[in-house]
């Protein structure tokens, strides 16, 4: 006799996996919902999960910009000035950092209608 495999959704109830149709892709596993005998993805929850993943991924990408921005901001705060090249570098770093800040709120995330569309919206795509 084969052991049974169970799937537990957010409601805490376990279901025999052989009795339900479920997605093969587990990317948005925490957004699964049961509709009859079919498990599909709650896109609202999937969007929230995706935004969290984007926030986690972008965290390390701020470092190169912080290395440019922080010293220049400190110097200006103490009454110093920037050279024209430093101003150019500062503006470029600030613009790139702003794209990273804006990524989780990108309109494409809210308009994605399928899990695959959502997965295609990587941080690189959102900040391009």
Report the sign of the C-alpha dihedral through residues 73, 126, 53, 49, in that order: positive
User: In terms of domains, do 115 and 100 share one?
Assistant: yes
**Cα dihedral across residues 66, 57, 109, 126: positive or negative:** positive
Tell the burial category of 122 from Cβ atoms under 10 Å away from its Cβ (0-12, 13-18, 19+). middle
Residues 58 and 25 grouped into a single domain = no
The pLDDT score that the predictor gives to residue 13 is 78
Q: Quick one: 36 and 51 in the same domain?
A: no
Domain that holds residue 24: 1-41
The tokens for 15 are: 């279901």
Q: Please report which confidence band the pLDDT of residue 30 belongs to, taking 50, 70 and 90 as the band edges.
A: very high
Do residues 37 and 47 both lie within one domain? Answer: no
Q: Are 34 and 51 contacting, i.e. CB atoms less than 8 angstroms apart?
A: no
Per-residue pLDDT tens over the stretch 53-99: 999 999 999 999 999 999 999 999 999 999 999 999 999 999 999 99
Confidence (pLDDT) at 75: 95
Predicted local confidence at residue 37, as pLDDT: 85
Q: Could you tell me which residue, 1 or 56, shows the higher pLDDT?
A: 56
- Do residues 58 and 47 share a domain? yes
Enter the pTM of the model. 0.83
């Amino acid at each position: 006799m084969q052991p049974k495999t169970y799937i537990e959704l957010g409601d805490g109830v376990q279901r025999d996996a052989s009795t339900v149709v479920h997605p093969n892709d587990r990317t948005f596993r925490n957004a699964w919902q049961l509709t009859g005998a079919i498990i599909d993805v709650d896109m609202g929850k999937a969007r929230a999960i995706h935004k969290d993943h984007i926030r986690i991924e972008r965290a390390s990408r701020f470092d190169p910009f912080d290395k440019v921005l922080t010293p220049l901001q400190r110097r200006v705060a103490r009454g110093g000035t920037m050279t024209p090249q430093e101003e150019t570098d500062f503006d470029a770093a600030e613009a790139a950092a702003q794209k990273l800040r804006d990524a989780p709120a990108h309109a494409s995330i809210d308009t994605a209608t399928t899990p695959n569309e959502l997965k295609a919206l990587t941080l690189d795509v959102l900040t391009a």
